[in-house]
Amino acid sequence: MKRWQVWIGVIISAVFLWIAFRGLDFEEAWGNAQNANYWWLIPSVGVYFVGVWVRTWRWDFMLRPLKHIPVARLFPVVVIGYMGNNIYPLRAGEVLRSYVLKQREDIPMGASLATVVVERVFDGLVMLMFVFAALPFAPIPGQRIQQTVIFASIAFFTALIIFFTIAAFPNTFLRIAEWVASTFLPQRLQDPIIDFTKRFLNGLESLRNFRNVLMIFFTSVIIWLLETVKYWFVMQAFDFTVTFFALMLMNGVVNLATTIPTAPGYVGTFDAPGIAVLEEYGVPRDIATPYTLVLHIALWLPITLLGAFYMFREGLSWSDFGKAVQMAESEARA
């Protein structure tokens, strides 16, 4: 909590929470929350973990150029990483996932972190696809969503082009990195940087095959469709109805917003955009707010508990997570 980046995240979360709760009739919202049929959370959690299993399959596919790891063995690593995202700020769980993988499978963190970054880029592109696909069937008259989509489209498509270019010309990129290191950096940093660059390029190997790219994209679509199904199940617990396309758009907007650095668990950046999208479709704020908060908890709590179980079963401690962040920071400083 001494790091300024963490405090910026807390402030951003506070601003988004203020946006989410301003003008809310808390008594009416609490009544709607009490009257919800929470039995619908059971199938919602089940379909969510099917999506986590597909995430694991996708990551296994991306890691195969480095090492083939059975999905059943990789699943706890993925869950531990998502738990880390939920309880640590700035998506530190992605680093924790790579750290645990290194401890268990001896895969360099630089290589596995490259696959994680590619995952996030594909996730962002699928979120944009959901938004573009849903808008013709569930149009929103406001401009806020369109501005978010335009900004995110530029960012994610630029990132995708960069990664494909690096993956297609690894030797050229390595020569550029060697020239930069030898020209601008002291001797003691040159070898670590070149070593990290090589490992990072190894992690991008899955992008050099068109079939691999199609598989990554296909599994990403399945993952986020399953998560939208979870949105639909949770909606059944509350007294409102919107189309599946509207929930696809909500899913896309919410997850694009959670790329903003915030306090742990995407506090605020998940809730305010979700409530705003539902209001655009005519859902009253005193219903949209409890629905979004319950959905957020249903996404956060089960995988966090399962991740804690796997963490202790593997003999890991919170100090291991601190070591993971320190290791990643040392590589990032390099």
In whole angstroms, give the CA distance from residue 81 to residue 334. Answer: 24
In order of 36, 66, 220, 326, the CA distances from 204 in angstroms are: 45, 10, 17, 23
Q: What is the pLDDT of residue 226?
A: 96
Instruction: Judge residue 224's burial from the number of C-beta atoms within 10 Å of its C-beta, 0-12 exposed, 13-18 middle, 19 or more buried.
Output: buried
In whole angstroms, give the CA distance from residue 322 to residue 187. Answer: 28
In whole angstroms, give the CA distance from residue 110 to residue 330. Answer: 12
Instruction: Give the number of other Cβ atoms within 10 Å of residue 218's Cβ.
Output: 12
Q: What is the pLDDT of residue 299?
A: 95
In whole angstroms, give the CA distance from residue 281 to residue 292. Answer: 14
Q: What is the pLDDT of residue 82?
A: 92
Q: What is the pLDDT of residue 4?
A: 65
Domain ranges of the chain: 4-333
Phi-psi group of 6: left, alpha or beta (phi > 0 → left; psi -120 to 50 → alpha; rest → beta): alpha
Cα Rg, the chain, nearest whole Å:
21
pTM, whole model, 2 decimals?
Answer: 0.81
Q: What is the DSSP string of 98-143?
A: HHHHHHHH---HHHHHHHHHHHHHHHHHHHHHHHHHHTTTS----S
Q: What is the pLDDT of residue 334?
A: 47
Q: What is the pLDDT of residue 116?
A: 85
Task: Give pLDDT tens digits along the chain (334 positions).
Answer: 456 667 777 888 889 999 999 989 999 999 999 999 999 999 999 999 999 999 999 999 888 888 889 999 999 999 999 998 888 776 778 888 888 898 888 888 877 887 888 888 788 878 877 777 777 777 665 566 666 666 666 776 777 788 778 777 888 888 888 888 888 777 777 777 777 777 677 667 767 777 888 888 899 999 999 999 999 999 999 999 999 988 988 998 888 888 777 777 888 889 999 999 899 889 999 999 999 999 999 999 999 999 999 988 888 776 666 666 666 555 545 4
CB 212 within 8 A of CB 59: no
**Helices 26-34 and 285-313: crossing angle, nearest 10°?**
60
Q: What is the pLDDT of residue 1?
A: 46
CB 296 within 8 A of CB 273: no
